Amino acid sequence: MSMTGQEMDNLFEKQSFWRNLSLFDWGWAGALILATAYVLQQYAAQMDVYELGILIGTTLSIIAWGWFWKPVRAYIVFVTLISLFSIYLYGNNLALGETNFFLKFLISSKSAIMWMSALYVLATVAYFIGLIIGSEFTNKTASAMTWSATVMGFVGLLVRWRESYLVHVDIGHFPVSNLYEVFILFSIITALLYLYYEGKSKTYTMGGFVLLVISAAVAFLLWYGFGSRGASEIQPLVPALQSYWMKIHVPANFVGYGAFALAAMLGVAYLIKDSMVKAGRNGAIINRFPDLDILDDVMYKSIALGFAFFTLATILGAMWAAEAWGGYWSWDPKETWALIVWLNYAAWLHLRLTKGWRGRPLAWWSVVGLFVTLFAFIGVNMFLSGLHSYGEL
């Protein structure tokens, strides 16, 4: 049976992909496989079949991620080395976090998260300075600070994971269990998504707008985590969260949230530039904004990516609910608002793909969509109660 021209093209593309993998690509895969084999040798007896599946799936995903986006390899290496150094310094004594210089001021979970927070705010300022004065050096400095902040944020989460076990083995848990932890996760994911599109579009001038929403998350994090609430302190998991589902449902959800936030801030940039151009105010600063076509394209790609992950997270959440509460869907306020968010972005993508909508209307929609998403993320916890009330403010 002969193949069609399209099938031959697809086969050729697949063969070309494998042929184009370099020695470094295979070395990357080999190093991760060896690291996973070591983890399995040390801890497989303490892991159930689901956790083994998550570990292997994560390894394969990171291998593919590093093949697809090569800059992330250095990021993962830095995060791994710093996290392991912090864990080594702790040993089995959590109290060293208050006496060891490196832990106290640099790489305990709280210190790393404070560095993350400071660097994100400084990067936001630097991006806007770079936009205003047109300085390539300032823009590159802002990008480097964003990378550094994202390293420290991920280090903070991984070290916090270890710290939770040092508090007590029964308290140890994957660090995405409360608003303090997930706001760190949100900041990291949104920054990584932005850095990917920054590299692909080869423009730094989107940075200030995207970093604004991350700085807002940092402000909330500092208020919520280090105030009188004591949310930064490690607490035992509530029974509803004591499940392997949390390790996959929550991260998938926050890829969606991060992508939607990124699209909304690019929508803001689009509306500002479009309004200024139509008003005839084509000053130097406006001319340094990204092209409207770039903003429109990245906004679309972000929402498409976010929608895919949010759909996956919703399916995983339904499966978790069936296991925990005996039913896939209960019209809990959190579930209902998740459905509203899903329908909102499904309609956005439908109008773009089938009706040819572009530009200003969808930019406005992406901005409004952020407020819908924000209510689903935080507002439900503040004003409504239900099965997900363990996440309330």
Question: What pLDDT is recorded for position 65?
Answer: 96
Digit-coded pLDDT (tens) for 111-120: 999 999 999 9
Highest mean predicted confidence (pLDDT) among 128-142, 270-284, 314-328: 128-142
Digit-coded pLDDT (tens) for 358-376: 889 999 999 999 999 999 8
Average pLDDT over residues 4-28: 71
Determine the Cα–Cα distance for residues 147 and 144; give it in Å rounded to an integer.
5
- Whether 82 maps to a domain, the answer reads no
- Whether 111 maps to a domain, the answer reads yes
Name which of 3-7, 128-132, 199-203, 307-311 the model is least confident about: 3-7
Confidence band (pLDDT; 50, 70, 90) for 229? low
- Whether 163 maps to a domain, the answer reads yes
- Whether 147 maps to a domain, the answer reads yes
pTM here is: 0.91
Q: Which two tokens stand for residue 208?
A: 């200030």
- Whether 137 maps to a domain, the answer reads yes
Q: Are 302 and 231 in contact (CB under 8 A)?
A: no
Q: Which two tokens stand for residue 170?
A: 């029964």
Identity of the residue numbered 276: M
Question: What pLDDT is recorded for position 322?
Answer: 86
Q: Above 80 in pLDDT, residue 174?
A: yes
Crossing angle of helices 71-90 and 49-68, in 10° steps, is 140
Determine the Cα–Cα distance for residues 177 and 235; give it in Å rounded to an integer.
9
Q: Are 90 and 166 in contact (CB under 8 A)?
A: yes
Confidence band (pLDDT; 50, 70, 90) for 387? low
Determine the Cα–Cα distance for residues 123 and 198; give it in Å rounded to an integer.
14
- Whether 161 maps to a domain, the answer reads yes
Determine the Cα–Cα distance for residues 39 and 374; give it in Å rounded to an integer.
37
Confidence band (pLDDT; 50, 70, 90) for 1? very low
Range of the domain at 142: 93-237
Question: What pLDDT is recorded for position 278?
Answer: 86
Average pLDDT over residues 250-255: 94
- Whether 193 maps to a domain, the answer reads yes
Determine the Cα–Cα distance for residues 359 and 157; give it in Å rounded to an integer.
37
Q: Above 60 in pLDDT, residue 67?
A: yes
Question: What pLDDT is recorded for position 53?
Answer: 93
Determine the Cα–Cα distance for residues 101 and 144; give it in Å rounded to an integer.
25
Q: Above 70 in pLDDT, residue 341?
A: yes
Average pLDDT, the chain: 89
Question: What pLDDT is recorded for position 323?
Answer: 85
- Whether 345 maps to a domain, the answer reads no
**Which residues 6+ apart lie within 8 Å of 229 measured at CB?**
none
Distances (CA, A) of 144 to 147, 187, 198, 220, 366: 5, 16, 12, 23, 28
Structural domain total, the chain: 1
